Amino acid sequence: MSPSYIFGPINSRRFGRSLGIDLSVGVKQCNFDCLYCELTRAKTTATQTVTADYKDILKDIKIAIKKHPNIDVLTWTANGEPTLYPYLSELLSEVDKIKGDIKTLILSNGGNIYNENIQNRLMDFDIVKLSLDCVGAKCFKKLDRTHESINTDKIVRGMVAFSKRFQNSLVLETLFVKGINDTQANIADLQKAYVKIKPHRVDIGTIDRPPSYDVLPISYAELQSIAGNFHDQYITIAHSQATKDPQRYSTDELLKMLGMRAINKEDITNMFDDVTKEKFDELLGQGKIISQDVAGVVFYRVRISLK
Ligand code: SF4
């Protein structure tokens, strides 16, 4: 029996109803070996050595789209790094012919984004999500354990160059691991990197599944506190123990908060009591707060330009 290249559908809070495409079924092929990886540990590789025929993957995609017509997004991933798949462009151009309104999203670790050929392969996706856990080489080596072919000094510059070229939605993801990349110095470097890269959105999170190495997550409160450093970005926070702590805010406090940082529906549920929610709706009705869809997540902010 041939392997199935499709998994799901799953409901993703950040991207909608998603069907996953696995470009490396049954074998991990990655140019990183992250301490927090939920897959098994594996030697890093710069190229795929086991490669599926893109026509077989396409066949599975056609069947899955027919079976699940109410899909928002096709999420391209791999047991490892999807940009290592050599027929990415061929497969994407075939999928573009049949997908209709469904969006294409690729989840890349961003390790080879400074390579122009890789950038070219990503240009036609509707959404590109790149990981950026670290800025310095030392942190990359320690946490993401990058393949020797990767020049970590070029990663941020590569993301800046890609962001300038890419016309669709660019999302960055940073995963924080206790005692490794949650230092004030790394957070300050990340903040500067985000400003330079200008992603549409930054998703921050921590370990929430058993990691392949012995490392620990940070708490939801720590993630919230880190998010406070990134007030010039649209931030979402993912944490399995996101706690509801509804508070009452005055109109002035609400406007000040939304002037500092755009918030999303999940933040509203977790942070505001019923009275504050009413004030929020009033401000929204008066146009003092505006909403904006950022790569599939609705954010609210006061009328200022973030990008
Ligand atoms: S980049 Fe993704 S697949 Fe590769 S080691 Fe890191 S977490 Fe695992």
User: Which tens digit of pLDDT belongs to each residue from 177-208?
Assistant: 999 999 999 999 999 999 999 999 999 999 98
Q: Band of the pLDDT at 296, cuts 50, 70, 90?
A: confident
Whether 135 has a pLDDT exceeding 50, the answer reads yes
Ligand 1 centroid, distance to 155 Cα (angstroms): 16
Assess whether 93 and 38 both reside in one domain. Answer: yes
Ligand 1 centroid, distance to 108 Cα (angstroms): 9
Within a domain: residue 74?
yes
Among 187, 206, 238, the domain boundary falls at 238
Among 203, 238, 273, the domain boundary falls at 238
Q: Which atom of ligand 1 is nearest to 144's Cα? A: 6
Within a domain: residue 307?
no
Q: Band of the pLDDT at 256, cuts 50, 70, 90?
A: confident
Sheet containing 297-302, strands listed edge to edge, beginning at the edge strand earlier in sequence: 263-264, 297-302, 289-294
Assess whether 221 and 297 both reside in one domain. Answer: no
Whether 209 has a pLDDT exceeding 90, the answer reads no
Q: What is the pLDDT of residue 305?
A: 45
Ligand 1 centroid, distance to 103 Cα (angstroms): 23
Within a domain: residue 215?
yes
Q: What is the pLDDT of residue 292?
A: 84
| Overall average pLDDT of the 113-136 stretch | 96
Within a domain: residue 243?
no
Assess whether 229 and 281 both reside in one domain. Answer: no
Q: Which atom of ligand 1 is nearest to 42's Cα? A: 5
Assess whether 50 and 117 both reside in one domain. Answer: yes
Assess whether 41 and 104 both reside in one domain. Answer: yes
Say how many CA atoms lie within 13 Å of 104 toward its Cβ: 23
| Overall average pLDDT of the 96-117 stretch | 96
Within a domain: residue 246?
no
Whether 80 has a pLDDT exceeding 80, the answer reads yes
Assess whether 201 and 159 both reside in one domain. Answer: yes
Predicted TM-score (pTM) of this structure? 0.88
Give the pLDDT confidence of 138-166 residue by residue, as tens digits. Answer: 999 999 999 999 999 999 999 999 999 99
Q: What is the pLDDT of residue 295?
A: 76
Assess whether 17 and 163 both reside in one domain. Answer: yes
Best substitution site from 23, 34, 113 to test ligand 1's pocket, by max atoms within 8 Å of Cβ?
Answer: 34
Count structural domains, the chain.
2
Distance CA 66, CA 63 (A): 5
Q: Which residues of 233-267 are buried (b: 16+ CB within 10 A; e: fewer)?
A: bbbbbbbeeeeeeeeebeeeebbebbeebbbbeeb
- Return the minimum-mean-pLDDT range out of 62-66, 224-228, 299-303: 299-303
Q: Band of the pLDDT at 304, cuts 50, 70, 90?
A: low
CATH number at residue 202: 3.20.20.70
Ligand 1 centroid, distance to 37 Cα (angstroms): 5
| Overall average pLDDT of the 45-60 stretch | 95
Mean pLDDT value across the chain? 91
Within a domain: residue 207?
yes
Whether 288 has a pLDDT exceeding 70, the answer reads yes
Best substitution site from 24, 109, 133, 142 to test ligand 1's pocket, by max atoms within 8 Å of Cβ?
Answer: 109
Q: Which domain holds residue 261?
A: 251-302
Per the CB < 8 A criterion, the answer to whether 61 and 21 are in contact is yes
Assess whether 163 and 59 both reside in one domain. Answer: yes
Any residues with Cβ below 6 Å from ligand 1, and which?
Answer: 30, 32-34, 37, 39, 80-81, 109
Ligand 1 centroid, distance to 141 Cα (angstroms): 13
Q: What is the pLDDT of residue 306?
A: 42
Distance CA 188, CA 23 (A): 35
Assess whether 145 and 282 both reside in one domain. Answer: no
Q: Give Cβ neighbours of residue 155 (< 8 Å, ≥ 6 apart).
A: 110, 111, 113, 114, 132, 140
Ligand 1 centroid, distance to 142 Cα (angstroms): 13
Q: Give Cβ neighbours of residue 285 (< 8 Å, ≥ 6 apart).
A: none
Ligand 1 centroid, distance to 147 Cα (angstroms): 12
Closest residue by Cα to residue 59 from 1, 20, 121, 5: 5
Assess whether 257 and 220 both reside in one domain. Answer: no
Assess whether 113 and 171 both reside in one domain. Answer: yes
Among 194, 215, 238, the domain boundary falls at 238
Maximum alpha-carbon separation in the chain: 63
Q: Band of the pLDDT at 210, cuts 50, 70, 90?
A: confident
High-pLDDT (> 90) share of the chain, %: 70
- Return the minimum-mean-pLDDT range out of 43-47, 174-178, 244-248: 244-248
Whether cis (ω within 30° of 0) applies to the bond prior to 9 is: yes
Whether 1 has a pLDDT exceeding 60, the answer reads no
Per the CB < 8 A criterion, the answer to whether 304 and 256 are in contact is no
Highest mean predicted confidence (pLDDT) among 169-178, 217-226, 268-277: 169-178
Q: What is the pLDDT of residue 126?
A: 97
Written as one letter, the residue type at 28 is K
Within a domain: residue 18?
yes
Best substitution site from 29, 44, 81, 152 to test ligand 1's pocket, by max atoms within 8 Å of Cβ?
Answer: 81
Best substitution site from 23, 33, 142 to test ligand 1's pocket, by max atoms within 8 Å of Cβ?
Answer: 33
Assess whether 281 and 206 both reside in one domain. Answer: no
Ligand 1 centroid, distance to 109 Cα (angstroms): 7
Q: Which atom of ligand 1 is nearest to 28's Cα? A: 3
Within a domain: residue 1?
no
